[in-house]
């Protein structure tokens, strides 16, 4: 009897998979292909190596079935060190691939230089025949770039997933050091917090400060809906203390989902910006990632004001 149930269940799964594949193929041919071909030819493959793709951009490429491959390397590595293939990119989205045969990839703790466990975030280092020997006539820069056993400090944060694929998160420079000495990898917190339906974009600040704050670009429609439900229409969001308290609590609940969440990884104040971060105003890169330092420098006075309240 159990065998019969398993057989029926297995056949249902096979049917569902075939139906989903058929549905995807039909939608692709009838809708996405027309859009895709207005942008790019079907046989074209996009190779991404200047920076890892922002998740929304890779989602778009996947949905539109645009062939693309991510890889990873630096000027100091004279080319590529890590790469996907067309097939592996589909199976392992958001990754930049696995190291080449003679390249050693190690994720280390930035402070102790000890290798971290697989899945833990740390500093990406690389070793191999392609790595530079040093900077010409610059011994000081060479010492900063080359660690023990000739591992190159890439300056990037990332981790290796359970299948051995590298996920690049951000520059190590995006790490903020709070006044209590704690290091906070802001992109990890931001990835969780921006899952809120009320948030279009956000940046977390707190370098040299006792607690964390955030600059937020609101989803105006969701804010209006909240106000209609809570009888606070026509109130500017920065003057709406009830909403600010509500959203701060919601964002902190989302941040708590982060792996190895620390008690000090918590927002205590937020500020709503009028303008979005865009490529045109210089706040986004060509791959749609927020220029963290540019945002912080531009809105430094607003950030400082959140620590005076």
Map 104-172 to HEC letters: EEEEECCCCCCECCCCCCEEEEEECCCCCCCCCCCHHHHHHHECHHHCEEEEEEEEECCCCCEEEEEEH
Residue 306: count other Cβ atoms within 10 Å of its Cβ. 20
CB 236, CB 218: distance < 8 Å: no
User: For the chain, which residues make up each domain, given as ranges?
Assistant: 1-39, 46-172, 178-305
Residues facing 195 on adjacent strands? none
Write the CB contacts of 169 (distance below 8 Å, at least 6 apart in sequence).
121, 156, 157, 158, 159, 185, 187, 188
Question: What's the pLDDT at 62?
Answer: 83
CB 38, CB 5: distance < 8 Å: no
Report whether pLDDT(276) > 90: yes
Per-residue pLDDT, averaged over 212-236, amounts to 92
Per-residue pLDDT, averaged over 246-268, amounts to 92
Instruction: Please report which residue ranges of the chain form alpha helices under DSSP H.
Output: 2-27, 33-39, 55-63, 86-91, 139-145, 186-193, 220-230, 241-255, 292-298, 300-305
The larger pLDDT score, comparing residue 113 to residue 32, is at 113
Report whether pLDDT(220) > 90: yes
φ/ψ of 36, rounded to 5, equals -60, -45
CB 126, CB 154: distance < 8 Å: yes
Per the structure block, which two tokens stand in for 177?
Answer: 């050091």
Q: Could you give the percent of the chain with pLDDT greater than 70?
A: 86
Q: Is 247 exposed, middle or buried (0-12, 13-18, 19+ CB in 10 A)?
A: buried
Report whether pLDDT(39) > 60: yes
Per the structure block, which two tokens stand in for 160?
Answer: 């290796």
Per-residue pLDDT, averaged over 173-186, amounts to 85
Q: How confident is the model at residue 288 (pLDDT cuts 50, 70, 90)?
A: confident
* Alpha carbon of residue 13 to chain centroid: 33
**Average pLDDT value over all residues in the chain:** 86
Question: What's the pLDDT at 275?
Answer: 93
For the stretch 66-94, pLDDT in tens is 889 999 999 899 888 999 999 999 999 99
Report whether pLDDT(246) > 80: yes
Report whether pLDDT(271) > 80: yes
Report whether pLDDT(259) > 90: no
Question: What's the pLDDT at 65?
Answer: 80
Q: What is the CA radius of gyration of the chain?
A: 23
The larger pLDDT score, comparing residue 282 to residue 18, is at 282
Per the structure block, which two tokens stand in for 155?
Answer: 């300056």
Report whether pLDDT(29) > 60: no
How many C-alpha atoms does 45 have within 13 Å on its Cβ side?
12
46-172: what fold?
Luciferase; domain 3 (2.30.38)
Report whether pLDDT(13) > 80: no
**178-305 has CATH 3.30.300.30 classification:** yes
């Amino acid at each position: 009897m159990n065998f019969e149930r398993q057989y029926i269940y297995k056949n249902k799964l096979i049917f569902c998979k075939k139906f989903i594949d058929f549905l995807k193929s039909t939608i692709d041919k009838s809708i996405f292909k027309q859009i895709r071909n207005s942008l790019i030819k079907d046989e074209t493959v996009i190779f991404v190596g200047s920076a890892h793709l922002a998740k929304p951009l890779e989602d778009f490429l996947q949905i539109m079935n645009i062939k693309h491959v991510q890889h990873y390397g630096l000027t100091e590595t004279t080319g590529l060190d890590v790469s996907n293939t067309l097939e592996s990119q589909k199976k392992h989205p958001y990754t930049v691939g696995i190291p080449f045969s003679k390249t050693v990839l190690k994720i280390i703790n930035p402070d102790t230089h000890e290798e971290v466990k697989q899945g833990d975030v740390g500093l990406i280092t690389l070793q191999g025949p392609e790595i530079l020997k040093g900077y010409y006539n610059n011994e000081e820069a060479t010492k900063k770039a080359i660690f023990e056993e000739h591992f190159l400090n890439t300056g990037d944060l990332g981790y290796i997933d359970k299948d051995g694929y590298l996920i690049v998160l951000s520059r190590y420079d995006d790490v903020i050091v709070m006044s209590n000495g704690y290091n906070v990898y802001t992109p990890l917190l931001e990835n969780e917090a921006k899952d809120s339906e009320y948030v279009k974009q956000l940046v977390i600040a707190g370098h040299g400060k006792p607690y964390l704050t955030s600059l937020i670009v609101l989803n105006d429609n969701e804010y209006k809906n909240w106000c209609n439900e809570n009888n606070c229409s026509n109130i500017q969001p920065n003057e709406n203390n009830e909403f600010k308290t509500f959203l701060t609590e919601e964002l902190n609940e989302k941040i708590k989902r982060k792996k190895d969440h620390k008690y000090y990884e918590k927002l205590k104040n937020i500020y709503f910006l009028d303008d979005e971060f865009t490529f045109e105003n210089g706040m986004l890169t060509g791959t749609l990632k927020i220029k963290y330092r540019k945002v912080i420098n531009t809105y430094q006075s607003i950030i400082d004001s959140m620590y005076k309240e």
